[in-house]
Chain A
Amino acid sequence: MADGTSVPIDVIAPARVRARRNTMQRFAQRRSTTGFLLCLPLILLIAAFVIYPAFYAIYLSMLNKKMTAFVGLGNFQFLLKRHTFQLVIFQSCLFAVTSVVLKAVIGFILAHLMHNIPGKNQRIWRGLLLVPWVIPLALSTLTWWWMFDPSYSAFNWVLNQFGIANVPWLGVGWTARFCTIAVNVWYGTPFFMIMYLAALKSVPEQLYEAAAIDGANTIQKLFFVTLPMMRNIIAITVLFSLIVTFADFDIVRILTAGGPQDMTHVFATYAFQIGIQSGDIPLGAADSLFMFPILAFAAFFVLRGVTRRTKEIAA
């Protein structure tokens, strides 16, 4: 990779060519050695705290609780048979899919609304809409918890004004599930909005004009111009958010800690409870490893989308 450093060799005297080539080779070698050395901190960091722990997790998940004996896939089998864990699988999927769909739809609508208003006003509106995403999630979830509080709930006060009875927000399974999803949507929608807004801005205006000349109405423009042009970014954002939401910990941990009756536990909070709080490290490791297949699946498609996108831009 000596591009930009190549010298037209034929103009140099033949006697010097050899020496020159040697230095060139040394130069290229030095260049790649320097390149490798500059990457070394990154490689060491990832090897020590991502790759090694990943393999260590697989090893841990095959030990018994006291970590003295090898039990093979026993932990995985044990988890799958447990009713609580079946609830965890269900809730994780429900939580991730519902939240991501809602975030994507609301984010799409918001991006369109933002796109309608003149550019100079967009900044302030964007700033206001990004507030949920700026506040650290653990802290804003505390506020949500306080608003859902059983005895002082601010939402219940509003409902009471309309003559509706108190709702036990976090006390009943399905309502609590709804609350965790609502908080996630509140937090994650701004991210979708800015992604989609950037994508909308990159759709060439001529395409809409051409569609208008062909007599397309608004809905046809949406389905035949906007969506195809944004397809890749929508896919990347949705899959990326699926990973993050699926692995979410903060919201469920703070809002319900998995209750009532373990109905809101997701993989991460359940792993925390059995692995760190109850001290069954191998079982906890097995629990988090259940996330791996779906994460790998989403990661594969994100990567494919990103590579395609890079090629599109390069082309």
Chain B
Amino acid sequence: MSTTVAERRIAVAAQRKHSLHRSRMWALWGSYIALSVFVVMFLVPPFYTLMTSLKSSAEISAQTGSPWLVRHPTLENFWYLITYPNFQRYYLNSIIVTILTVVVSMVISVLAAFSLSRMGFWGSQTLSTGVFLTYLVPPSLLFIPLFQIIGQIGLINNFWCLVLLYPTLAVPFCTWIMIGYFSSIPKELDEAALIDGAGYLQMLWKIFIPVAMPGIIAATIFAFTVSWGAFLYPLAYLYTSNQMVLTVGIISDLIRGDVFQWGKIMAACLLASLPPIVIYAFLMDYYVAGLTAGATKG
């Protein structure tokens, strides 16, 4: 009698385990299917960009059959852009502006974060809060007074104004990320360095920067993203093609009146999105870690 009860119990337990396993499997497959649906929806625009960029103007305007597929793939759009002086100019301007913005932003924010996380001075707490609040100021709030100010400095229609303005968008968040990373470095390390006779800058250079490298990478990617993709400032402050950067250059150059050269526009979008995509493909983990740490830590 007792053995049968025990057996039954074991059988029930096994069955339950089995059904648990099965429901787990269902949840797993359900998740995969649902995620696939989302991935397809999310990737429709990039896919369509690629398809259009491979079409000739004749194929685009012919309008026969599905617009989602390309029948006579051609690289003529890409070739046209690569050899098109204006497009080269935009690309070069974007690269110059971005590199300078990243360097300026990182220098400013690493120095400030080092100071704010380690050397308290009068008002440093308020300054940290202030830095975070500046991060929440969107570019569209101040672009009109900045238009006047840039005009007074004489930098309207000069891409150097972007090198001045982009850091205001990048520095607050970069500083914020770096404060988080620097604060997590144990104080014993600074003490050891101070005892060994290192100065503050040596300490920053030899200890803080190497230890907080993941944070530096995350902040650099953020500064890069802001500067490469910004649209409002260049649209408002630049108007001749020798000064334009990619985001505005593509729109104002390839759209002339009512003539849309869609094949070329899409190829240009693809070429312009390439640097961010490559960077994210390799360094996504650092960026996501920095971003989520920024939100969870501070």
Select one of B28, B138, B292 contacting A244, CB under 8 A.
B138
Q: Give CA–CA (A206, B98) in the complex, Å.
A: 46
Interface size for B (C-beta < 8 A) is 101
Q: Give CA–CA (A158, B41) in the complex, Å.
A: 14
Contact residues, A244-266 vs B (CB, 8 A): 244, 246-250, 253-254
Q: Is the C-beta of B256 less than 8 angstroms from some C-beta in chain A?
A: no
B167 → chain A, closest Cβ, in Å? Answer: 6
Whether the Cβ atoms of A198 and B231 lie closer than 8 Å is no
Q: A34-B119, A233-B295 are in contact. Are A117 and B31 (CB under 8 A)?
A: yes
Q: Give CA–CA (A35, B127) in the complex, Å.
A: 12
Select one of A3, A36, A134, A247 contacting B121, CB under 8 A.
A36
Q: A1-B120, A128-B42, A152-B67 are in contact. Are A39 and B111 (CB under 8 A)?
A: yes
Q: A49-B168, A140-B269, A152-B60 are in contact. Are A130 and B284 (CB under 8 A)?
A: yes
Whether the Cβ atoms of B149 and A53 lie closer than 8 Å is yes
Q: Give CA–CA (A306, B297) in the complex, Å.
A: 8
With a CB–CB cut-off of 8 A, which chain B residues contact A54? 137, 141-142, 145
| Count of CB-CB pairs between chains A and B under 8 Å | 299
Contact with B along A118-162 (1 / 0, CB 8 A): 000001011111111011111110111011010010100110000
Q: Is the C-beta of B207 less than 8 angstroms from some C-beta in chain A?
A: no
With a CB–CB cut-off of 8 A, which chain B residues contact A217? none
With a CB–CB cut-off of 8 A, which chain A residues contact B67? 152, 154, 157
Whether the Cβ atoms of A39 and B148 lie closer than 8 Å is no
With a CB–CB cut-off of 8 A, which chain B residues contact A100? none
Select one of A135, A199, A244 contacting B273, CB under 8 A.
A135
Q: A32-B120, A114-B35, A295-B136 are in contact. Are A41 and B269 (CB under 8 A)?
A: no
Select one of B38, B48, B145, B229 contacting A154, CB under 8 A.
B48
Q: A34-B115, A129-B42, A268-B232 are in contact. Are A45 and B140 (CB under 8 A)?
A: no
Contact with B along A284-296 (1 / 0, CB 8 A): 1100110110010
Contact residues, B101-160 vs A (CB, 8 A): 107-109, 111-112, 114-116, 118-122, 124, 127, 129-134, 136-149
Of B84-92, B187-195, B209-217, the one contacting chain A is B187-195
Contact residues, B245-298 vs A (CB, 8 A): 247-248, 250-251, 260, 262, 265-266, 269, 272-273, 276-277, 280-281, 284-285, 288, 291-292, 295-298
Q: A53-B145, A56-B149 are in contact. Are A116 and B111 (CB under 8 A)?
A: no
Whether the Cβ atoms of A233 and B194 lie closer than 8 Å is no
Q: Is the C-beta of A299 less than 8 angstroms from some C-beta in chain B?
A: yes
Q: Give CA–CA (A233, B284) in the complex, Å.
A: 21
Q: Give CA–CA (A251, B260) in the complex, Å.
A: 18
Q: Is the C-beta of B235 less than 8 angstroms from some C-beta in chain A?
A: yes
Whether the Cβ atoms of B140 and A313 lie closer than 8 Å is no
Q: How large is the interface on A (under 10, 10 to 19, 20 to 34, 35 or more residues)?
A: 35 or more
Q: A43-B127, A143-B46, A302-B136 are in contact. Are A57 and B68 (CB under 8 A)?
A: no
With a CB–CB cut-off of 8 A, which chain A residues contact B276? 134-136
With a CB–CB cut-off of 8 A, which chain A residues contact B198? none
Q: Is the C-beta of A237 less than 8 angstroms from some C-beta in chain B?
A: yes
Whether the Cβ atoms of A46 and B236 lie closer than 8 Å is no
Q: A143-B46, A271-B140 are in contact. Are A110 and B35 (CB under 8 A)?
A: yes
With a CB–CB cut-off of 8 A, which chain B residues contact A298? 136
Whether the Cβ atoms of A138 and B247 lie closer than 8 Å is yes
Contact with B along A182-207 (1 / 0, CB 8 A): 00001001100011001100100000
Q: Is the C-beta of A80 less than 8 angstroms from some C-beta in chain B?
A: no
Whether the Cβ atoms of A131 and B296 lie closer than 8 Å is no
Whether the Cβ atoms of B236 and A276 lie closer than 8 Å is yes
Q: Give CA–CA (A39, B112) in the complex, Å.
A: 4
Select one of B34, B109, B142, B296 contacting A313, CB under 8 A.
B296
Select one of A127, A138, A143 contacting B45, CB under 8 A.
A143
Can you list 22 contacts pairing A with B, beta carbon distance less than 8 Å? Answer: A43-B127, A49-B142, A50-B168, A52-B149, A60-B145, A125-B39, A129-B39, A135-B273, A136-B247, A138-B251, A139-B250, A142-B251, A202-B296, A237-B295, A247-B138, A247-B140, A248-B140, A267-B140, A271-B140, A275-B144, A292-B141, A303-B132
Which residues of A are in contact with B by a Cβ distance under 8 Å?
1, 3-5, 31-36, 38-39, 41-43, 45-46, 49-50, 52-54, 56-57, 60, 106, 109-110, 113-114, 116-117, 123, 125-132, 134-140, 142-144, 146-147, 149, 152, 154, 157-158, 186, 189-190, 194-195, 198-199, 202, 233, 236-237, 240, 243-244, 246-250, 253-254, 267-268, 271-272, 275-276, 281, 284-285, 288-289, 291-292, 295, 298-299, 302-303, 306, 309-310, 313
